[in-house]
Amino acid sequence: MRILLVGAGGVGDAIAKIAARRGFFETIVVSDYDLTRAERTIAWIETKHGAQNGRFVAAQIDASDPDSVTAVALQHAVTHVMNAVEPRFVPTIFAGALAADADYLDMAMSLSEPHPTNPHEETGVKLGDDQFAQAPDWETAGRLAIVGMGVEPGLSDVFARYAADHLFSEIDELGTRDGANLVVRDEAGNEIFAPSFSIWTTIEECLNPPVIWEKERGWYTTAPFSEPEVFVFPEGIGAVECVNVEHEEVLLMPRWVDAKRVTFKYGLGDEFIGILKTLNQLGLDRTEPVRVRSANGPVMVAPRDVVAAGLPDPAALGPRMTGKTCAGLWVTGTGTDGQPREVYLYHVSDNEWTMSEYESQCVVWQTALNPVIALELLSKGVWSGTGVLGPEAFDAKPFLDLMALTVAEGGYGQPWGLEER
């Protein structure tokens, strides 16, 4: 297996670092628009693990240009393209991978567009619609694209498949619930506002109309931050208020898993919600460039890019962050014994541990872990297929077994939890 890793930011950097401890691939081409970032990732790996004998190669790439993606993939004879950049680049990387006759994985799907006249009740262009529309092209080419293979979406979708196959005879609701007790402090020790993931992506997710799926109704939308609920997260995180947020799980799970309802709720907190609402009211969430005066004359700038540039790089927050993050799936329905059942399947990532082991903050590290496991399963032929598929389309048990096995046993040493509720 020869992998083109597109993006050496926080998640891409962590993917390479996690993969460095595994032997399932021949080469990973770590690529980025800024070549020095790719080189920095490889230098860290070589310092930590010694010379890699060509297993890691740096390359410059323009993720916005499908021809650039194709050219780098062909130059290095890659078999798999791993997309680790913001979802706005999905269309070009997706096209570039297919043109290079390579398989493809991403962690976030093609972007949505709200309904033009009724955005808080009806869907417009849904997350992933563009990719699923191209499924026949991938099937004809005999190539596989796994979409939404991060942690959420990704691991949460693997949990959905596992619950349907092993825990429930009938599922009432698949509810992804994400929460954390992370705190970021400045040099003086004061708690500061600093999102632990890309603010560009966070704005997209949180200010777009959330999508809900119901068997009797199909997909529909609500207003941002709707239906608040308090959810108690395990391993000391505790109670966190969660709200509806647009997310890929709701667009993926119903395609392969039989359930009456599918939701996604995120523990944002009052301060974060207030800031996002303010950005929206001021138009600072917009992606269309606006004309701005500068010392060198007028320039065109996207307001959202200005917000992103003014905040700390999420990949650099690790040393100033404490706490844990939890990704999981709350499932209700009828158990295999015919009795009512309610469970929470989850994985917790501790920032202290991820920083000590990988120098990666816990949110990006937890996201990066899952595509590496998926790539290993693909390399062994445990997972296979053609077309455009979500994580739910594959057997969940080999994934969860490999994830939980200790490193000494050949696994990743990351146990996942199953909490009866």
DSSP class of 166: I
Residues 168 and 189 both lie in one domain: yes
DSSP class of 167: I
**Amino acid making up residue 386:** T
| Whole-number average pLDDT of the chain | 94
pLDDT at 315 (0 to 100) = 67
Residues 336 and 377 both lie in one domain: no
Domain boundary among 363, 392, 407: 363
pLDDT at 205 (0 to 100) = 77
pLDDT tens digit string along 197-208? 677 778 877 889
Residues 251 and 305 both lie in one domain: yes
Q: Mean pLDDT, to the nearest integer, of 8-31?
A: 97
Q: Mean pLDDT, to the nearest integer, of 23-47?
A: 97
Residues 369 and 403 both lie in one domain: yes
Residues 258 and 383 both lie in one domain: no
> Is 421 a domain residue?
no
Tally Cβ neighbours within 10 Å of residue 403: 19
Whole-number Å distance between alpha carbons of 363 and 275 = 20
pLDDT tens digit string along 273-313? 888 888 888 888 888 888 888 778 888 888 888 888 877 77
Instruction: Output 337 or 286, whichever has higher pLDDT.
Output: 337
Q: Mean pLDDT, to the nearest integer, of 238-261?
A: 96
* Residue whose C-alpha is closest to residue 208's, from 291, 154, 264, 259: 264
Q: Are 328 and 347 in contact (CB under 8 A)?
A: yes
pLDDT at 384 (0 to 100) = 98
**Percentage of the chain lying above the pLDDT 90 cut:** 79
pLDDT tens digit string along 144-175? 999 999 999 999 999 999 999 999 999 999 99
Q: Are 341 and 332 in contact (CB under 8 A)?
A: yes
Whole-number Å distance between alpha carbons of 213 and 220 = 6
Domain boundary among 329, 348, 363: 363
pLDDT at 127 (0 to 100) = 97
Tally Cβ neighbours within 10 Å of residue 122: 14
Instruction: Output 22 or 314, whichever has higher pLDDT.
Output: 22
**Percentage of the chain lying above the pLDDT 70 cut:** 99
Tally Cβ neighbours within 10 Å of residue 120: 14
**Amino acid making up residue 175:** G
* Residue whose C-alpha is closest to residue 23's, from 59, 44, 53: 53
Whole-number Å distance between alpha carbons of 389 and 132 = 8
Residues 6+ apart with CB under 8 A from 252: 128, 147, 148, 153, 157, 390, 391, 392
Band the pLDDT of 183: cuts 50, 70, 90.
confident
DSSP class of 236: T
Q: Are 30 and 58 in contact (CB under 8 A)?
A: yes
156-170, 253-267, 270-284, 406-420: least confident range: 270-284
Residues 392 and 271 both lie in one domain: no
Residues 285 and 369 both lie in one domain: no
Query: What's the distance, Cα to Cα, between the start and end of the chain in Å?
Result: 41
> Is 71 a domain residue?
yes
Q: Measured at the alpha carbon of residue 349, what is the angle toward residues 151 and 156, in degrees to the nearest 5?
A: 25
Residues 86 and 230 both lie in one domain: no
Measured in whole angstroms, the distance separating CA 165 from the mean position of its chain's CA atoms is: 24
pLDDT at 294 (0 to 100) = 78
Residues 131 and 28 both lie in one domain: yes
Q: Number of structural domains, the chain?
A: 2
**Amino acid making up residue 154:** G
CATH number for the domain that contains residue 308: 3.30.360.10
Residues 6+ apart with CB under 8 A from 50: none
Domain region containing 62: 2-150+364-416
48-57, 196-205, 244-253: least confident range: 196-205
